[in-house]
Amino acid sequence: MTSNAPHGSALFRSLHTAARPLALANAWDAASARIVEAAGAPAIATTSAGVAWSLGAPDGDRVSRDLALDAVARIAAAVAVPVSADIEGGHGRSPEEVGDTVTRVLEAGAVGVNIEDGTRPPGTLAARIEAARAAAGRAGADLFVNARVDTYLLGLGDPVTRLRETLARARSYVDAGADGIFVPGVTDPDLIRSLAEALTVPLNVMAGPGAPSVPELAALGVARVSLGSGIAQSAYAAARDAARELYGEGVYAPSLRRALDYTEINDLFDRAG
């Protein structure tokens, strides 16, 4: 496995550039990770929502740390590209527990983490980032810490002052040791440009219907583009549609016609072994 090797860390860090943004088709299990890698992905990032759903739980820090880290380990073992793990709020109640999570993430084979503030006070995430950085230092690992600012995603604060609050949080997270800033929920080009210009670290945004294309985001200064839970949602939509056709009209060709060939999927894992 190369994802936990020093050169894997360096490679992952080097991929964050607005000249050619790191585009991440987020995976949630070994199969989705292998499929994404085979499509040409230079790195894999997990989606906490997709992982949670696959384990029978809702998103939002509702999956046990052991189960979440087991999923990360399975994904890292299935691919040869660097892996970044979405650890939500850090899978811990205290900075010390978050540091332990990061130690275990590194042991699982990941070289990066995505950690979010959500509705917590900004100081909480700053302390968790410091703990994550300290844990990586003790492990001698070049961990890439991507700090997620949820002001726009959750509509936090006054819309008039939201940009100022977002940047204030971002700067505090960078001071705490964050290597990148993730601001999901923004699609307006002028706003994205303002964020990119104001930050001293790579900007990550979430893409999807209605968002600018990757080349357009590159022109705005974005260095990392994530699809979040979008692919998992699409996969589960395909499962729902096929089931509705089967139990409704009793047909199955419409949805299953776009299915991947059995051998194509199976061969991905034969080669991995």
Running DSSP on this structure, what letter comes out for residue 88? T
Structure tokens at 80: 């040869």
Q: How many residues does the chain have?
A: 273
- Which residues neighbour 121 within 8 Å (Cβ) at sequence distance 6 or greater? none
Per-residue pLDDT of 156-185, as tens digits, reads 989 999 999 999 999 999 999 999 999 999
Which pLDDT does position 7 carry in this prediction? 61
Which pLDDT does position 273 carry in this prediction? 46
Which pLDDT does position 1 carry in this prediction? 37
Running DSSP on this structure, what letter comes out for residue 17? -
Look at residue 236 and tell me if it is in a domain: no
Look at residue 254 and tell me if it is in a domain: no
Structure tokens at 10: 């360096």
Number of structural domains found in the chain: 1
Largest CA distance in the chain: 59
List the beta bridge partners of residue 229. Answer: none
Structure confidence at residue 253 as a pLDDT band (50, 70, 90): confident
Look at residue 84 and tell me if it is in a domain: yes
C-alpha 150/C-alpha 132 separation (Å) is 19
Give percent of the chain above pLDDT 90.
93
Report the CATH number that the domain containing residue 131 is assigned in CATH.
3.20.20.60
Q: How far is CA 87 from the centre of its chain?
A: 9
Which pLDDT does position 270 carry in this prediction? 84
Helices and strands, number each (H, E), in the chain: 12, 8
Give percent of the chain above pLDDT 70.
96
Mean pLDDT, the chain, integer: 95
Look at residue 249 and tell me if it is in a domain: no
Structure confidence at residue 4 as a pLDDT band (50, 70, 90): very low
Per-residue pLDDT of 81-121, as tens digits, reads 999 999 999 999 999 999 999 999 999 999 999 999 999 99
Look at residue 97 and tell me if it is in a domain: yes
C-alpha 226/C-alpha 210 separation (Å) is 14
Question: Among residues 210, 207, 227, which one has the least CA distance to residue 218?
Answer: 207
What is the domain range of residue 57?
A: 6-229
